[in-house]
């Protein structure tokens, strides 16, 4: 018994230690230590100074029309800064701080968004500092050709989930590019640059970003981005990862024909999202995600099926193929689990008006007319009721005497005497007091 109790105590201590280590790692990721808290202002200030110097170099070399500098990582690659174009109006620093707090709360609540560390103005240059995870690298370093199909589908799904969270809370990215997406060691994406478009509108910065492979055509021509710009950027990212080439705006995609294992439903979603006119796209990513999830799930199921060699017609399958089913590839622990297939609901059936069932007409029945005047005769009461006997008048004088005479009326009663109370005799005055004799 002592040995068994000791073993159970050791197991409990081991589980408690694992929980404590997991909680400690989670707290290390979410909250900085005391040393990091003391070191962070110096690191942020040095990182911002590097970003401002980098932006000045780009402005002198490429001109003053550039909107922002590229992301500049810190020495430990735990933070990144992006500096925007210089502004002359410095009266909106309080509004910028309020916007920074809103973006910070928004980015802290989703694992696919890089948490915002600071949003302020340094020497008339607005900047944004975001916190990264350990071992991240920009996605643009991997886009050299078609990505592995299953990994690309998982990455697209996670990017859609993160940006859908933004659209659900009334925000949008507006300038998504492969440089804004960082991928960690486990393959999870981390989107940076959230709030840059809102800063540009708040401070009235007129410059526009440089066009990339994910830039919509209307934004490249100078229009302001909106939620439909993110719809185009996500579809362009999916096409770029699966084919290795940027899409052509307004041209239908043929991924089901060019890439093996992809369903035609994915082409339908991407073709609508890549429309040249923003009015022909999905209104936001919440609406696009409803149509994209079933297509991505169907594509994942198609990528899991192993390819079998073609057999000549009429040949029987081998015994080994009949006896053992095809093996599935090992499950990948990184990323989110595969979503369940969503049922497709035909809304036209629900909006169609209801039709009442047809009721058969009843045969008309003729009701005969009845002559009630002929059946019922008028009633004569004189003939029906017997006549009453007439009273005879008295003829003899005795009969007259027998008739009682009316009694005389009684005399009225005398009035009742009123009682009076006897008056008391008048009081006699008291005799005067005699003085006392000595």
Tell me the DSSP string of 237-293.
HHHHHHHSS---TTSPP-HHHHSTT--HHHHHHHHHHT-SSGGGS-SSHHHHHHHHH
Q: Strand order of the sheet with strand 79-83?
A: 72-73, 79-83, 125-131, 116-122
Report in angstroms the alpha-carbon separations of 140 from 129, 176, 182, 198, 346. Answer: 20, 12, 9, 24, 40
Residue 78 lies in a domain: yes
CA-to-CA distance for 150 and 242, rounded, in angstroms? Answer: 10
Ramachandran quadrant class, 187 (left: phi over 0; alpha: psi -120 to 50; beta: rest): left
Residue 216 is encoded by which pair of tokens?
Answer: 């919509």
Asked whether 80 and 130 are in contact (CB, 8 A), the reply is yes
Task: Please give the distance of CA 298 from its chain centroid, rounded to a whole number.
Answer: 25
Asked whether 140 and 179 are in contact (CB, 8 A), the reply is yes
Asked whether 194 and 171 are in contact (CB, 8 A), the reply is yes
CA-to-CA distance for 152 and 156, rounded, in angstroms? Answer: 6
Supply the CATH number for residue 73's domain.
Answer: 1.10.510.10
- What pLDDT, on the 0 to 100 scale, is given for residue 239? 93
- What pLDDT, on the 0 to 100 scale, is given for residue 37? 46
- What backbone phi and psi angles, to 5 degrees, belong to 183? -120, 130
Place of tokens 């209104």: 283
Residue 194 lies in a domain: yes
The range of the structural domain enclosing residue 91 comes to 43-304
Nearest Cα to 92, choosing from 211, 188, 225, 200? Answer: 200
**Neighbouring-strand partners of residue 130:** 80, 116
Residue 227 lies in a domain: yes
- What pLDDT, on the 0 to 100 scale, is given for residue 7? 46
365: helix, coil or strand? coil
Residue 137 lies in a domain: yes
- What backbone phi and psi angles, to 5 degrees, belong to 190? -135, 115
CA-to-CA distance for 427 and 102, rounded, in angstroms? Answer: 105
Residue 167 lies in a domain: yes
CA neighbours closer than 13 Å in the CB half-sphere of residue 59: 17
Q: Please return the burial class of 54, using the count of CB atoms within 10 Å of its CB with bins 0-12, 13-18 and 19+.
A: middle
The secondary element (H helix, E strand) that includes residue 83 is strand 79-83
Could you read off the pLDDT tens digit of each residue along the chain, which spans 438 residues? 444 444 444 444 544 444 445 455 445 444 544 455 455 677 888 888 898 888 888 878 766 556 778 888 888 888 999 998 888 877 888 888 899 999 999 898 888 999 999 898 888 889 999 999 888 899 988 888 888 888 999 999 999 999 999 999 989 998 899 999 999 888 899 999 999 889 988 888 876 677 888 999 998 888 889 999 999 999 999 999 999 899 988 888 888 888 888 889 999 999 999 999 999 999 999 999 999 988 888 888 765 555 444 444 455 544 444 445 555 544 444 445 666 777 777 777 777 777 777 777 778 878 888 777 777 777 677 776 666 665 555 555 555 555 555 566 666 666 666 666 667 777 777 777 777 665
Ramachandran quadrant class, 113 (left: phi over 0; alpha: psi -120 to 50; beta: rest): beta
Residue 133 lies in a domain: yes
- What pLDDT, on the 0 to 100 scale, is given for residue 5? 47
Residue 5 lies in a domain: no
CA-to-CA distance for 195 and 180, rounded, in angstroms? Answer: 12
**Neighbouring-strand partners of residue 113:** 191
Place of tokens 């021509």: 221
Asked whether 211 and 233 are in contact (CB, 8 A), the reply is no
Question: How many distinct structural domains can be found in the chain?
Answer: 1
- What pTM, to 2 d.p., does this model score? 0.61
Asked whether 185 and 132 are in contact (CB, 8 A), the reply is no
CA-to-CA distance for 199 and 120, rounded, in angstroms? Answer: 10
Residue 25 lies in a domain: no
């Amino acid at each position: 018994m002592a040995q068994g109790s000791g073993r159970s105590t050791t197991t409990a201590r081991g589980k408690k230690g694992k929980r404590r280590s997991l909680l400690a790692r989670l707290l290390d990721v979410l909250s900085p230590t005391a040393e990091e808290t003391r070191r962070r202002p110096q690191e942020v200030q040095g990182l911002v100074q590097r970003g401002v110097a980098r932006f000045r170099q780009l402005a002198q070399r490429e001109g003053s029309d550039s909107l922002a500098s590229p992301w500049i990582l810190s020495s430990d690659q735990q933070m990144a800064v992006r500096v925007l174009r210089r502004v002359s109006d410095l009266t909106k620093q309080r509004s910028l701080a309020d916007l920074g707090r809103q973006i910070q709360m928004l980015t802290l609540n989703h694992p696919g968004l890089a948490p915002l560390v600071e949003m302020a103005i340094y020497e008339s240059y607005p900047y944004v500092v975001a916190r990264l995870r350990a071992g991240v690298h920009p996605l643009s370093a991997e886009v050299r050709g078609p990505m592995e199909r299953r990994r690309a589908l998982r990455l697209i799904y996670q990017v859609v989930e993160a940006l859908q969270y933004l659209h659900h809370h009334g925000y949008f990215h507006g300038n998504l590019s492969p440089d804004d997406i960082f991928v960690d060691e486990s393959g999870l994406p981390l989107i940076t640059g959230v709030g840059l478009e809102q800063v540009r509108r708040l401070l009235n910065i007129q410059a526009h970003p440089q066009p990339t492979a994910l830039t919509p055509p209307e934004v490249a021509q100078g229009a302001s981005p909106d939620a439909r710009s993110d719809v185009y950027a996500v579809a362009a990212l999916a096409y770029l990862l699966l084919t290795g080439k940027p899409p052509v705006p307004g041209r239908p995609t043929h991924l089901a024909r060019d890439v093996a294992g992809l369903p035609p439903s994915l082409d339908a979603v991407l073709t609508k999202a890549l429309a040249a006119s923003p009015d022909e796209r999905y209104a936001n990513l919440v609406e696009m995600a409803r149509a994209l999830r079933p297509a991505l799930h169907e594509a994942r199921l198609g990528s899991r099926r192993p390819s079998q060699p073609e057999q000549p017609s009429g040949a029987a399958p081998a015994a080994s193929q009949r006896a053992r089913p095809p093996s599935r590839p090992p499950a990948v622990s990184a990323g989110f689990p595969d979503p369940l297939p969503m049922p497709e609901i035909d809304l036209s059936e629900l909006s169609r008006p209801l039709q009442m069932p047809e009721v058969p007409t009843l045969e008309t029945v003729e009701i005969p007319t009845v002559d009630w005047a002929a059946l019922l005769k008028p009633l004569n009461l004189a003939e029906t009721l017997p006549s009453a006997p007439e009273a005879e008048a008295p003829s003899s004088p005795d009969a007259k005497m027998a008739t009682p005479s009316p009694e005389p009326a009684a005399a009225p009663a005398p009035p009742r005497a009123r009682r009076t109370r006897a008056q008391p005799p008048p009081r006699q005055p008291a005799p005067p007091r005699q003085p006392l004799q000595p």
